[in-house]
Amino acid sequence: MMKAIHQLVPNLAYGDAISNESLVVRDMLRSWGYESEIYTDVCDEQVADARLPLAEHRKVSSRKNGIILHHSTGSEVSSYCKSLSDKKILIYHNITPPHFFHTFSDSIHEKLDHGRKQLKYLRASINIPVCDSDYNASELRSIGYENVRILPIAINFEKYRERPPCPFVLSRFDRELTNVLCVGRVAPNKKIEDALKVFACYQRINPHSRLIVVGKVNMFDRYHSFLFDLADELGVKNLHLTGHVSFEKLIAFYHVADVLLLMSEHEGFGVPLLEAMFYEIPIMAFKSSAVPETLGNAGILIIEKRFDRIAEMLNIVLSDEALHRRIIRVQKERLQDFSAEKIEQRLRRIIEDFERC
């Protein structure tokens, strides 16, 4: 048995899905008797105590130990991993196609392109490749990876149950207006502009409504400005772009939401889909990338971006009580496929095979 299985991440960010998963995986590995730490040089202050500097990993690196590398962008961490003798698991979370950022950020475009090139560079050194979804796995297979395992993103929903929602958000965004919620980075691939176009149509049906967009915006200032200009052009009222929020505020926004609208054109998995299932919020999501795979037969899948039609369907979902109940029931059933027990069983099988490499 390996003594230690450590994780390498490009960054450890507060509230980030990949970062949260690395914490869950670390706790599972420790519970199975492994020494397990998370190594990175980039982290948010709120989670700094959960990581060690990357340079510290050299002291414990050994061909008798294991590494789990999380890869989602171009990173020095991935280059460092390639140089090590430790056995390696790659967890590939997908890299957003660079073309989405061409208009808004040259530096992000280059970083994402570099990350895709690193995937090919890493291939020969990886013992077990793992992906969040079969959508992601298909990309690895296309560049020569074999026997790719599927491990949906591990989410600790006990934390969602235990933390109280932010009372300010609950009172500020109460149910006087219908709350249409979007959750995720405010980035070009998320197509927030399409959510705005849907909402503009819906607001003509129901003027007593607001659009709440929850997600980090700081790296994409040009895109952020573009969205506000578009909202003015469309005549949208009651638009709230919250930026990055605390976990308690995120929970509160789910509490006040009436529907989750996801118009993204690139998702490697889609954690907000599971969060909405957990909070019993009906989901309407565009059929792209890994979204159909994560939803299964749950939610409402948008096939074509005809914004007026989507707005009409949104109104039906919010006004038809029988349909609403049916959507919630199927979503709750689908959420069971991502239970902590099932994810732990999958990871355990992967680690058992890793031991035999």
Output the pLDDT for position 101: 82
CATH topology of domain 5-151: Rossmann fold (3.40.50)
Please, where in the chain does CATH 3.40.50.2000 lie?
A: 5-151, 162-337
Q: What is the pLDDT of residue 99?
A: 84
User: What does CATH list as the number for 162-337?
Assistant: 3.40.50.2000
pLDDT tens digits along 167-192: 999 999 987 899 999 999 999 999 99
d(CA 166, CA 141): 43
Q: What is the pLDDT of residue 103?
A: 78
Q: Is the pLDDT of residue 130 over 80?
A: yes
Nearest Cα neighbor of 26 from 44, 4, 47, 10 is 4
Work out the average pLDDT over 110-127. 92
Instruction: Provide the token pair at 87.
Output: 């056995």
pLDDT greater than 70 at residue 219: no
Question: Dihedral of the CA atoms 92, 98, 99, 100 (nearest 10)?
Answer: 80
Residue 222: the pLDDT is 85
pLDDT at 304: 98
- Asked whether 105 and 186 are in contact (CB, 8 A), the reply is no
Q: Are 32 and 1 in contact (CB under 8 A)?
A: no
Q: What is the mean pLDDT of residues 69-93?
A: 95
For 14-58, write each residue's pLDDT tens digit: 889 999 999 999 999 999 999 999 999 999 899 989 999 999 999
> Whole-prediction pTM value?
0.95
Stated length of the chain: 357
Instruction: Report whether pLDDT(161) > 60.
Output: yes
What pLDDT score was predicted for residue 175?
A: 74
